[in-house]
Amino acid sequence: MLIILMDAVAVMAVVFIVNQGEQLDFGPAAIAGLGISVGCFLLNLLLFDAIGLFAIIPMVGVAIAGIWMGAGIPLGRAAVAGVLFMVYKIAVGLVFASMISGAP
């Protein structure tokens, strides 16, 4: 649940940065964040065994589509926002993996 809230805030922040100051409401951001998280989870389950880390490429596509439809911004800006959002998701995943493994 916390990850969904963090994703919604991250979507709002990325759209605010990319869309030159226009804000996105929390509801559409939460729906976009949830859709991106579920889509990336399913793609990870389906593709990671077959193509490994290259499964990130379709995940970026899901992030771009989710932000494009959820925020209603032009596709070029949504592409930049989707890439930035996936960088955030990878960083958060690495931080949580580090916390679970007990590495300093």
Strand, helix or coil at 64? helix
A 10 A CB-CB count for 82 gives: 25
Q: What's the pLDDT tens digit per position in 52-76?
A: 889 899 999 999 999 999 888 899 9
pLDDT in tens, 11-57: 999 999 998 877 888 888 889 989 999 999 999 999 988 998 898 99
What are the tokens at 17? 């940065």
Q: How far apart are CA 29 and CA 101, in angstroms?
A: 31
Question: Quick one: pLDDT at residue 104?
Answer: 65
pTM equals 0.86
Take residue 3 and report the two structure tokens written for it: 């990850």
The mean pLDDT value for 84-98 works out to 91
Largest CA distance in the chain: 42
Q: How many CA atoms lie within 13 A of 1 on its CB side?
A: 0
